[in-house]
Amino acid sequence: MAKIIVVTSGKGGVGKTTTSAAFATGLALRGFKTVVIDFDVGLRNLDLIMGCERRVVYDFINLINEESNLKQTLIRDKNIENLYILPASQTRDKDALTTEGVEKVLNKMKEEFDYIVCDSPAGIEKGAHMALYFADSAIVVTNPEVSSVRDSDRILGILSSKSKRAEEGEDRITEHLLITRYAPSRVDRGDMLAIKDIQDILGIPLIGVIPESQAVLKASNAGVPVIRDENSDAGIAYTDMVARFLGEDVPMRFTTAEKRGFFKRLFNKEEVPA
Amino acid sequence: MSILNIFRSSKKNTASIAKERLQIIVAHERNQRSGPDYLPILQKELIDVIAKYVKIDRDQVKVELDQQDDCSVLELNIMLPERESNTETA
């Protein structure tokens, strides 16, 4: 029986789709049969990040309306076995997502897959609500920035009150904090919220820290999830995050400023005469 | 360099300002979320009653429910218009 994971944040532009693509790819690379679903009806983008935009024939709404079947609709990743993409509809509006329709599709996929990753749209409206409603776990993507942290807290409130698990009094959704676009050197300078600050405020366990990285834009340019750029900092950080999700104990990386020796020397020289 | 130093020492680093502001707003919003369902209606009706007797600016009325240990405190904060202030008593 598949586990459903929602990648959510409230705020837009923090890295939900980048994370969904990397996370789903990472799970598939570990041998799990995984599908990643784009819930952003009307603003589909996961297909571009996954590099399959030209292979979209049917979409999520077609599937809900039974205009196509699973086999026709799911796009199989060209390079990675066990990885499938379900694109959002580009022409319909978000009201086409109904609770019953989404549940029916998810139930069908649950039989076939190990993991179902739901890429939530920004905001707290229908699409975002549908993406999180059936989730077993949530990955809350947060930038070290005030509006992102506040919106993440709002989403945590919704996860604990408006999800299916909450409404039916089942066990809570397992929440994980993923900090993205983290710049340790700016944290050292006092210009950016530190990991601990964000954790103190949100109060949920940390699953990973993705550094601000040039590899992310390069990956989206190429349509290859950044986790496949195995030598990049962001790629490594996502690989670690997948391992932690699977219960492995992996220490955090890229959380302290590099070239510290150089900066330290510089600061020390400044401080001695003063 | 000296100008930079003065700037640095006089200004608090922005990350700690961010943290303080977030702690306050997040606590406030969580409090609202966890408040009883009737609170928004209670707030509206209280304001309606006051508006019946006093000309008030609705933005100048604050109704909040605070949890303090084992008791809740309903706090009503109204800014009365200046002219009529001598006829009203708090």
Question: Is B85 at the interface with chain A, CB within 8 A?
Answer: no
Cβ A197–B15 below 8 Å, yes or no?
yes
pLDDT tens figures, A184-224: 999 999 999 999 999 999 999 999 999 999 999 999 999 99
HEC string of chain A equals: CCEEEEEECCCCCCCHHHHHHHHHHHHHHCCCCEEEEECCCCCCCHHHHHCCHHHCCCCHHHHHCCCCCHHHHCEECCCCCCEEEECCCCCCCHHHCCHHHHHHHHHHHHHHCCEEEEECCCCCCHHHHHHHHCCCEEEEEECCCHHHHHHHHHHHHHHCCCCHHHHCCCCCCEEEEEEEEECHHHHHCCCCCCHHHHHHHHCCCEEEEEECCHHHHHHHHHCCCHHHCCCCHHHHHHHHHHHHHCCCCCCCCCCCCCCHHHHHHHHHHHHCCC
Residue A262: its pLDDT value, please? 57
CB of B5 within 8 Å of a chain A CB? The answer is yes
Q: Give me the pLDDT at residue A48, please.
A: 97
Q: Which tens digits make up the pLDDT trace of A103-160?
A: 999 999 999 999 999 999 999 999 999 999 999 999 999 999 999 999 999 999 999 9
Closest Cα in chain B to A197: B19
Of B16, B22, B30, the CB nearest to A146: B22
More confident residue, A24 or B49: A24
Q: Is the pLDDT reported for residue A255 higher than 50?
A: yes
Residue A271 has pLDDT above 50, yes or no: no
Is 60 exceeded by the pLDDT of residue A162? Answer: yes
Which of A11, A124, A143, A146 should we substitute to test contact with B (largest number of B Cβ atoms within 10 Å)? A146
Q: What is the pLDDT of residue B75?
A: 83
Q: What is the band of B7 on the pLDDT scale with cuts at 50, 70, 90?
A: low
- Asked if B30 has any chain A CB less than 8 Å from its own CB, the reply is yes
- Provide mean pLDDT across the span A236-260: 93
In this prediction the ipTM stands at 0.84
Q: Which helix (H) or strand (E) holds B74?
A: strand B71-78
Residue B2 forms contact with A (CB below 8 Å)? no
User: pLDDT at position A264, please?
Assistant: 57
pLDDT band at A73, cuts 50/70/90?
very high
Render pLDDT for A34-55 as a digit per residue (tens, 0 to 9). Answer: 999 999 999 999 999 999 999 9
Instruction: Return the pLDDT at A98.
Output: 94
